[in-house]
Structure 1
Amino acid sequence: MLLLSVLLATAVGQVAGLPPPQSRRGELETHIGDSDISWSTDCAYLGFDSQLPYSCANFSVPLDYTDPTSNETLELTLTRINATIQPARGSVLFNPGGPGAGGADFITGGGEEFMTVLGGQFNLIGFDPRATGNTLRFDCNEGLSDLEQLEAQPPPTVLGNASDVALGNNFASIKAQAAQCLNRTGGIGELVGTAFVARDMARIVDALGEDGLLRYWGFSYGTALGATFSAMFPEKVDKVVLDGNVNVQEYYSGWETQALVDLDGVVQGFFDGCIASPDSCPLARAGETADDVYNTVEAMLTRLKYNPIAVTLLNETTVVTYSSVKTFMFNMLYRPRTWPLVATLLDYLVDDNASLYVDARSQLRGNGTAGDSPDAITAIRCGDTAFRTDSLADLMPFEQQVVPTSTWGGLDFGLDNIMNCAPWMEKAKEVYSGDWDIKTKNPLLLIGNTYDPVTPLVSAQNNSAAFPGSVVLQHNGYGHTSLAQPSLCTAEAVQAYFINGTLPAPGTICQPDVPLFSNSTWQDAFASISLNGTVKAKRNVRYGSSSKGLMEALTELSRNVPGKPEYR
């Protein structure tokens, strides 16, 4: 495995075959006054829903930052919601994750809630990163007819535990898709890497005409983007919140063994919460303990592994399989507020009522933004990562490391990223190649959930170690990012950081205010925490009149957790 060891040794350094390192600090920096942004309120063409008035803009940036002789540009789609308290303290950029999630409508969709969390004192800026939305959209089926797109669809993914030949079959299919995508996209994949997006952000910050410093809240993959910006432009960091942290060094290596280390804890939380709230969890009838319920669901999954069920509704046939049901469970672990619904659907299958499951399941829709691009996920992530191979055998050392990190999902979900990226045929023209010991102008705030299925607390701690002076706030909740299980403590810490620059004390742990399987509204949650004496009546300096308004905003945000993948 010489290739493997060499790649790992240079995982976060220069990628073979690329130009010399281009993303070290101090190179190709932008300057205040390079350009301006022409905002317009005539944004109906975007088709975005918004609770608050917003403006939009098309902002021109270089297409290829590594080619100083080129005059080619691309236009970024930007949206802005003005601070409700004027004068504004500046603007905060957002990234919802993915990678591949559009950001322009992320802000319009959640603008009122984010405005509340930030005290109404900042303009909110959303933008579609490269490969998403209207910005150099990356689509492997671009230009194909409906029939051709149907024929180009890969076979359904079979999870590793579903078959002893699943990994080999999946990898063969992924390699074929990578080759087809390269032929259809014409080199766009080289231009959508995270380093280029960081440079786009620097251009946006300068063009805003404020102080030339970045204020930013990034979720999931957005933490890798925020960390990359902070590493490339440490002198431009004002307030940067990284929420739901991807281990950025593992991300660039392509050897991500840490992502699922808390997954079993999330699964345990689902079943513990179920047995503690039987009125909200039909599965609780399966036994007296969480283990009883867990074993009942595992038995159902095992039945489906060997005996999938075909269901025909409205002349459309769906095959309910081990892989489809377990993937549904995995995806919904991102959002604890959905767990009562998940339990209901699983209970249908425990009773062998697959028709009810399919009918209810068909009414669920993913919570992605209009700018989401499934192919962009691969183009961005895989263009950034160092590890490459077209041999399944070269992945076996990774399998041996990642599978033990989660009994429930190590084999089924732990190899997804590396298998998608290993045979990918394009590299980003620029990948951050500096070190990870960076002193920023102002310290970062990192947030990690105690129980996050894909971005564990330890990743926040590892990222923090790369930025001396930064602080990790532990959000003692479940789900993906701090928005998944609302906490006034966490929200007020974020608010204080943006408004006053106040960091929580190292070791701070914030408790969530909405219990698992509670089915509670924000009013219920606020009444409960008020009775417990954990919230004092006060008027925060924010958009809204009290902590009640903040709790309402958090509950609404928990409906659409950033960074969540499309349902499979």
Structure 2
Amino acid sequence: MAWHRAFLFTSLIGSHAIAFASSNLARSENIAWGPCEVETLPASIQCGNLTVPVDYTEPDSDTTLQLQLLKVPALHEPKQGSILFNFGGPGLEARLTLAGMAETFHALTGGHYDLIAHDPRGTASTLTASCFANQTQRATAVLQTRLSDFPTPADEMALGKQWAGSVLMGDTCSHSQLKDHGRFMSTAFTARDLMQIVDAVSDDGMLRYWGFSYGTVLGSTVAAMFPDRVDKLILDAVMNPHQYYHECDIEIWSDVDKVFTSVFQQCLQSPKQCVLAGRNQTAEELEESIYALLDGVKRIPVVEGQTIIDHSFIKTFIRASLYSPKAYPNLAAALNTLLDRNTTKFMELWGKQMGNGGIFTGDLADDSPFAIPCSEKRTGKHTLDEIMPDLYSLVQTSKLLGEVGNGVAMVCSQWKIDAKERYEGNFEVTTKNPLLIIGNTYDSATPFKSAQNISASFEGSVLLEHGGWGHGTLSHGSSCTSRAIRNYWTNGALPEAGTKCEPDYPPFQPGSLQQVLIDIGFMDKE
């Protein structure tokens, strides 16, 4: 979950609204599917709308919402149904993400399913969660509220300013358009939307779902609310739903420092792909030099052109880089330039990764990373003194990035818009069919312990450890993991308890999930 930049396993995707065609559609089941009004999409991909209630707590209300859906039709007969997707955030659009990865998902699911995604409430143009009239106002607010700064609890002045910024953010959002529809974008309502889609497209009324990151909170919620309707469901890169609803999200930072340490260790094992190896230092010495650098620019930031390079700026770059092993060589090169005091070259490498057309692109175009979780998080803490123990826990959990969690912790404590429905139950649930739960060994955004925790909750579920790096299984290719996922979708087979699948290539070495899928015969060569 992110407060300012929203990260997906392999890319950052801004939630930009896309126009879809709605005329001359041929009816299929209860959804009118037709061509998408996006020239870059293949003609085989279809789009459609589904009318659902805005407020599920008011069954007699006539107020409705149009869900916008995208379908990648099955490649083979007989069809086995439809799989629904959510790619996380909260706040990431889903339709274009699915469209861009359609070939990969067909390979992993066997090609006998229709693949369907909708832009959830609060994202893109679906009840857009926006506290501001335009992006200029939003950018100004980020600076004014200090929510893009990462002070530690010991930085009393900076922390006080950030707290004041969270108060300002809460007040601003409560007087924006969110005061009218911010109550209707909870995870529980989105779970009900999923079941509306299931009823509209499935011939057996059973849920098939694959969720990533925050999508695992949604998946856990829909499975707990509708356990008897679960056919197959994968939770991939697991967030702890217990903390999501009831506490500050501390557990998500648990593996950050382990992953960061491993990057330097892996660097030295692939010296030709990692320029930091040329400094002739141990992994421990390299890591210590970066922490020293961060401390230095925290006290005395560096100006390069129109950019202030401080510890928050660099940590945002590091955080994004840890999401995908394919970014590691560029991360190493960028850190090397900083150690050489070459900030001009650093900004070039920053632009290669974070700028337009880079590996990671775009800030969220709305405020869903606050609006969705804050409307349903109930910690009972509303003052700075009350949340200070959580802020200390954050930095104790992760030396590198713990303070990045300040923003959501603070803003949620000041949020004034309550969800109309919030999931109140626990996750001690037995589903009709068992869940497949997958966690990466080296995931800086969703630690393996969260996958362990939720697997212990859902009776009969099986936990698969994906021994790779990055956020979610798709970030680091593994033929073992790919076979386990495909076996689950094609015949419901689960891996043996305790299974750990290793990646097919080291994180600094060339490789891709797509090449793995080609090598094992799941995907054709182009």
TM-score computed with the length of structure 1 as normaliser: 0.82
Q: Which residue of 2 aligns with 1:268?
A: 261
Relative to structure 1, is the Cα distance of residues 341 and 456 closer, same or farther in structure 2, using a 3 angstrom cutoff?
same
Tell me how far 1:99 sits from its aligned partner: 0.3
C-alpha distance in 1 between matches for 2:429 and 2:57: 23
* Cα deviation code 1:415-436 (max 9, x no counterpart): 3432231111111110111232
Relative to structure 1, is the Cα distance of residues 80 and 267 closer, same or farther in structure 2, using a 3 angstrom cutoff?
same
Residue 339 (structure 2) aligned to one of 337, 350, 363: 350
Identity of aligned residues (%): 38
Relative to structure 1, is the Cα distance of residues 51 and 549 closer, same or farther in structure 2, using a 3 angstrom cutoff?
farther
* Cα deviation code 1:166-194 (max 9, x no counterpart): 32221211210111111112332110000
- Superposition map of 1:368-383 within 5 A: 373-383=365-375
The answer (yes or no) to whether the contact 2:123–2:366 under 8 Å persists in 1 is no
Relative to structure 1, is the Cα distance of residues 383 and 147 closer, same or farther in structure 2, using a 3 angstrom cutoff?
closer
Q: Which residue of 2 aligns with 1:207?
A: 200
Verify: 1:170 aligned to 2:169, yes or no. Answer: no
C-alpha distance in 2 between matches for 1:81 and 1:191: 28
- Residue correspondences, number: 491
Residue 38 (structure 1) aligned to one of 15, 20, 32: 32
C-alpha distance in 1 between matches for 2:45 and 2:157: 51
Residue 466 (structure 1) aligned to one of 452, 457, 463: 457
The answer (yes or no) to whether the contact 2:518–2:525 under 8 Å persists in 1 is no
Verify: 1:61 aligned to 2:57, yes or no. Answer: no
C-alpha distance in 1 between matches for 2:343 and 2:183: 44
Relative to structure 1, is the Cα distance of residues 504 and 551 closer, same or farther in structure 2, using a 3 angstrom cutoff?
farther
* Cα deviation code 1:105-159 (max 9, x no counterpart): 11111111111111111111010000111211111113x5x76555444335221
Relative to structure 1, is the Cα distance of residues 474 and 196 closer, same or farther in structure 2, using a 3 angstrom cutoff?
same
Aligned partner of residue 79 in structure 1, secondary structure: strand
* Cα deviation code 1:276-311 (max 9, x no counterpart): 112111112233310121122222222211221112
Q: Which residue of 2 aligns with 1:320?
A: 309
* Cα deviation code 1:398-442 (max 9, x no counterpart): 2343332223333x2343432231111111110111232111110
Residue 116 (structure 1) aligned to one of 94, 98, 107: 107
The answer (yes or no) to whether the contact 2:56–2:189 under 8 Å persists in 1 is yes
AA aligned to 1:508 is: T
Relative to structure 1, is the Cα distance of residues 211 and 48 closer, same or farther in structure 2, using a 3 angstrom cutoff?
farther
- Superposition map of 1:248-287 within 5 A: 248-287=241-280
- Superposition map of 1:363-402 within 5 A: 363=352, 364-365=354-355, 373-402=365-394
C-alpha distance in 2 between matches for 1:239 and 1:170: 43
Q: Which residue of 2 aligns with 1:71?
A: 62
Tell me how far 1:522 sits from its aligned partner: 6.6
Verify: 1:500 aligned to 2:473, yes or no. Answer: no
Aligned partner of residue 299 in structure 1, secondary structure: helix
Relative to structure 1, is the Cα distance of residues 367 and 179 closer, same or farther in structure 2, using a 3 angstrom cutoff?
farther
Residue 103 (structure 1) aligned to one of 94, 106, 120: 94
C-alpha distance in 1 between matches for 2:379 and 2:491: 42
- Superposition map of 1:81-230 within 5 A: 81-142=72-133, 144=134, 148=137, 151-155=140-144, 156=146, 157-161=148-152, 163-185=155-177, 186-230=179-223
Relative to structure 1, is the Cα distance of residues 550 and 369 closer, same or farther in structure 2, using a 3 angstrom cutoff?
farther
The answer (yes or no) to whether the contact 2:191–2:222 under 8 Å persists in 1 is yes
Q: Which residue of 1 aligns with 2:329?
A: 340
Aligned partner of residue 410 in structure 2, secondary structure: helix
The answer (yes or no) to whether the contact 1:133–1:372 under 8 Å persists in 2 is no
Relative to structure 1, is the Cα distance of residues 424 and 56 closer, same or farther in structure 2, using a 3 angstrom cutoff?
same
Structure 1: unaligned runs, 5 residues or longer? 1-34, 527-543, 554-568
Q: Which residue of 1 aligns with 2:240?
A: 247
Aligned partner of residue 459 in structure 2, secondary structure: coil
Relative to structure 1, is the Cα distance of residues 97 and 151 closer, same or farther in structure 2, using a 3 angstrom cutoff?
closer
C-alpha distance in 1 between matches for 2:298 and 2:524: 42
AA aligned to 1:205 is: V
Structure 2: unaligned runs, 5 residues or longer? 1-28
AA aligned to 1:216 is: Y
Tell me how far 1:550 sits from its aligned partner: 4.6
Relative to structure 1, is the Cα distance of residues 246 and 212 closer, same or farther in structure 2, using a 3 angstrom cutoff?
same
C-alpha distance in 2 between matches for 1:228 and 1:522: 29
The answer (yes or no) to whether the contact 1:446–1:464 under 8 Å persists in 2 is yes
AA aligned to 2:319 is: F
The answer (yes or no) to whether the contact 1:133–1:370 under 8 Å persists in 2 is no
Tell me how far 1:371 sits from its aligned partner: 11
Q: Which residue of 2 aligns with 1:441?
A: 432
The answer (yes or no) to whether the contact 2:477–2:513 under 8 Å persists in 1 is no
Tell me how far 1:93 sits from its aligned partner: 0.4
* Cα deviation code 1:461-515 (max 9, x no counterpart): 1111221000110111121111121111111111111110001111010001121
Q: Which residue of 2 aligns with 1:302?
A: 295
- Superposition map of 1:408-557 within 5 A: 408-410=400-402, 412-520=403-511, 547-550=520-523
Relative to structure 1, is the Cα distance of residues 435 and 306 closer, same or farther in structure 2, using a 3 angstrom cutoff?
closer
Tell me how far 1:228 sits from its aligned partner: 0.3
